[in-house]
Amino acid sequence: MQQMIDLSAGNEARMPSFVDLGAFLAERLGALRDLPQGGQSFLQRRVALQAADRTSPVGAILLTHEYGHVPAMPADEFVLVVQGRVEFVTKNGTVTLEDGDAAVLPMGCAFDWKAENEAQLLFMRYPGSTASDTPITPLSKAPEFLPSAKPAADILVGPAPECSNHNDYRVDDGRFVCGTWTSTAYHRHGFRYGHYEIMYLLAGSVTLTDETGRSQTFAKGDIVLAEEGAHCAWQSREDVTKLFAIYRV
């Protein structure tokens, strides 16, 4: 498997929490731009988030006026284009991702890729992958929602919300799942995350608060990671819709 480069500064140990991935990407752009370009840039011109004594499965990719070929993805990978445009050409056709678009690149998938201008991406890699013939799977722009589970009653503060979900990609009994989720407003106490979750807010806003009291509000267009081991409370005062990628450890 390709080794992800560690470009993080001040790599001090910290408790798992929520991470503003937009800010993380912005902080790493200078160092990413200094890395060599070439046909292998998609797998090599990237940086993984660092947390305490482990490397996160989440990170950033930078492609600049480049094209190349990936003979086989080393793992299932969720990718979200934060800015720019990337084309993936496979035996099944071409998948084009632009600002705010996301897809899953399955393990074993081969493709040519092209970025005409600078493209900034975030990724989540699922290390438990097995190779398959599954094609690149874009996340739906018009998801067909189905009712989904509500938060447990013992962590709710106030009434339970109405929640709906659409899964575009799901493997290993949900250990790695990507799709879209929507919910009415609600408030819950913090709980310990047994998974990593990227959340890209398509509508609404939410305030997350970790066990140290650190709090931040995220709104439409923001991208946040809840880390495995984090203890975070959730409060939304309006309906929220988000793209998500979850890796259950």
Query: How many angstroms separate the CA atoms of 215 and 217, rounded?
Result: 7
The pLDDT of residue 8 is above 80? no
> How far is the C-alpha of 51 from the C-alpha of 45, rounded, in Å?
20
User: Quick one: fold of 18-130?
Assistant: Jelly Rolls (2.60.120)
> Does pLDDT of 230 surpass 50?
yes
Contact by Cβ (8 Å): 120, 81: yes
Confidence of residue 1 (pLDDT cuts 50, 70, 90): very low
- Rounded Cα distance between 203 and 129, Å, is 31
pLDDT > 70? residue 58: yes
Q: Where are the domains of the chain?
A: 18-130, 146-248
**How many Å apart are CA 165 and CA 149, to the nearest integer?**
9
Run of H or E residues at 55: strand 54-63
Q: pTM value?
A: 0.94
Does the fold of domain 146-248 match that of domain 18-130? yes
Decide if pLDDT at 27 tops 60. yes
Asked if 167 and 179 touch (Cβ cutoff 8 Å), the reply is yes
| Average pLDDT of the residues in 9-32 | 86
Q: What span, in angstroms and rounded, lies between the C-alpha atoms of 161 and 51?
A: 32
**Predicted local confidence at residue 198, as pLDDT:** 98
Report the range of poorest mean pLDDT among 50-54, 175-179, 198-202, 216-220. Answer: 50-54
- Quote the pLDDT of residue 15: 87
Average pLDDT of the segment spanning 107-136: 95
Least confident of 37-41, 119-123, 146-150: 37-41
CATH topology of domain 146-248: Jelly Rolls (2.60.120)
- Angstrom CA distances, 57 to 96, 148, 149, stand at 24, 26, 26
Residue 42 Cα distances to 77, 86, 229, angstroms: 12, 11, 29
